[in-house]
Structure formats: C-alpha cells, structure tokens
C-alpha cells in the first residue's frame, strides 16, 4: 500500500515539474513563476476566507443541536482546495479549482458519505478520543 502511494506521489511530482517546464517554454520563466505565485496566494486566501465561513456554519449547526456533517465535509474539501492551490504546479491548481466548485464538492461529499456508511456498517471504523492526549 505504501509503495503504491509513494509511486503515485512521485509520478504526480514528475508530472507537475514536466508541465511547469512546458508552460515555461511557452510563456517564459518570469510569467510561469508569477502564475505559480498567484496560485499559491489564491490557495492561502481561499483557506482563510472559506475556513471562516465554514466555521461559522459549523457553529450555527451546533447551536441548533445538529451534527454539521455537510459543513465539515465542505470544510475538508475547501482546505484540500487551498492546499492544492498553494502547492506549486498547474495540475494541482486545476484539481484545486475543480474542488472549489460547489457541484464537485457535493459529488465528493456524497461519495465520502457512502464510503463512510459502508465502512461503519462493515465494522471497519475505529473511533478514538483525543481527550487524554498530552502534548
């Protein structure tokens, strides 16, 4: 399992670096650098802006004594969006922008819920409390 993950990460990084060099050949080094920098700033801004919005929705749901499952999954998607955009590269930026779209988040949310329900029904989920952890 770890070997497959490592190979996937290495292939992803190779694809990112290759695409950066291809884009640099078309638009120049400075423009490529500025485009990558813009993507990173956009990712950080999305995490901050949407993180506050999702946090407010989570607290509203908790205030109404509801489990904020949709808000939590949206928040996780938006954090992943920001991380993908902050990571330098065009493939990760495209993945992050797709994940930022609400209809993509709803599709992912449905799939994650289905996957979690299957895992919970199968008894493959272990919940741990972090209450007694010491730092």
pLDDT digits (tens, 9 = 90+) for 68-125: 677 778 888 888 888 888 888 899 999 988 888 889 988 988 888 888 778 777 776 6
pTM, two decimal places: 0.71
pLDDT digits (tens, 9 = 90+) for 19-44: 999 999 999 999 999 999 998 888 88
**Domain extents in the chain:** 35-120
3-state secondary structure the chain: CHHHHHHHHHHHHHHHHHHHHHHHHHHCHHHHHHHHHHHHHHHHHHHHHHHHHHHHHHHHHHHCCCCCHHHHHHHHHHHHHHHHHHCCCHHHHHHHHHHHCHHHHHHHHHHHHHHHHHHHHHCCCCCCCCCCCCC
């Amino acid at each position: 399992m770890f070997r497959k993950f490592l190979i996937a990460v290495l292939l992803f990084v190779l694809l990112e670096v290759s695409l950066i060099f291809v884009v640099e050949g078309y638009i120049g080094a400075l423009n490529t650098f500025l485009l990558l920098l813009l993507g990173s700033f956009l990712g950080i801004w999305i995490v901050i802006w949407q993180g506050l919005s999702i946090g407010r929705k989570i607290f509203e749901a908790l205030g109404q004594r509801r489990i904020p499952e949709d808000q939590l999954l949206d928040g996780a998607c938006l954090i992943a969006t920001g991380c993908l955009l902050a990571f330098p590269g065009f493939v990760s930026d495209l993945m992050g922008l797709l994940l930022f779209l609400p209809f993509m988040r709803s599709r992912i949310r449905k799939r994650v819920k289905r996957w979690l329900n299957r895992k919970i029904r199968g008894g493959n989920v272990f919940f741990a409390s972090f209450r007694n952890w010491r730092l």
